[in-house]
Structure 1
Amino acid sequence: MAENELGIEEARAQIGDLVDDAHYEGTITHITRHGRRLASIVPAGMKATSIPEAALDAAFDAAWPGLPEGISMGEARRRVIAALNAAYPHMVVPSEPEVLPDVDRLKQASESIEKQLVEGTLSPEQTERLRRAAQSIAETIRETRVRMTHQQILTKAIEDEGGTWDAARAVTTLGLAGHGVDDRRARAVLRRIAATGLLTRTSQTRAIYDTHER
């Protein structure tokens, strides 16, 4: 669950996009004034309160003896947070920052495995191990693409493919990554990417953009 903070004036100008982020991606945006949180935009049905840190630490201490042997402290804490979020959906428990796998490196590993399989010089046991590894990598790539935000997915696609982008192309790209969105949402994401300097709008009447060479 992604969270971010935004000053009240900036939030006022982006209110539609922030609501879309909450609805489509579950993003929580905390609205601030002079660095102090005043309110939050959250998905419908969720309260913008949080479990006190002391209660979270107590839950972690209680759960630790029952967690699998060899598990890291970071992974253990993430599991406890996930369990609390599932048990108390009306609460918002701060999650540890998530580092997504590098899809490009996973694809390179998958291509290397495929090359070895095609060469056919492996034993049956080695072949079976590599096939299982390839399946695992493919599943990780699919899960990673679903967990990426709409802006991350489109930014990556624009950087890789370049060219002209509009709502239809953005909808198709997000759909292939497992995200079903409408034209309105796609246009909002393209506007945000254009604000980063990666795209330049080329039409005054339509949401059409060209890739800007960085």
Structure 2
Amino acid sequence: MPENELGIEEVRAQLGDLVDDAHYEGHITRITRRGRHVASIVPAGMKATGLPDAAVEAAVDAAWPGLPEGITMGEARRRVIAALNAAHPHMIEPGEPEVLPDLARLQDVSANIEKQLSEGALSGEQQQRLQKAVHGIAETIREIRVRMTHQQVLVTAIQEEGGTWDAARAVAALSNAGHAVDDKRARSVMRRIAATGQLTRTSPTRAIYDTTEQ
């Protein structure tokens, strides 16, 4: 997927063009402030934390071996990105099974790419790209499973213990269950749980939550 990096002042001067690049060509612009990545301009519907670039490019190649009349490469990218985003869950809803249907879709994408590789009708460069994509999807699936496990463990602890939760308490609960995480991961898990309504943030500046009364 095309991607470039610009400072915030450059972005201000080129904003219209950069938005057009995202919309029509599927480009991503990483915005930096004093050399630090602070935001991104991405195509509508895309999650900035989506699949690896190689996986998206390989999926475009697999889905669009020849573009139908009237379909631009930018439109093809947007359609594939939307499909892959649907297969890349960022929040686990309570009561869902351990292996989500979206996870199964990711596995289907990987299986489709593996099938193309086994048919042997690809150039060496195409094979390398698809193999890299399969590896990227496998890493994404592994990460999803880890995140699912972390959230399930912490939800159980919250339901059993109740009370106020911060990063330190979340880290301790996950550690007691055998999961070594840092404060950043713990805060991320608590944010996802708060989005399901099981925690309520009580501080505007710190990651402190109260258990929501059911």
Shorter-chain TM-score range: 0.3 to 0.5
Higher relative contact order by CA 8 Å / sep ≥ 6: 1 or 2?
Answer: 2
Q: Using structure 1 for the length normalisation, give the TM-score.
A: 0.39
Question: What is the TM-score of this pair, normalised by structure 2?
Answer: 0.39
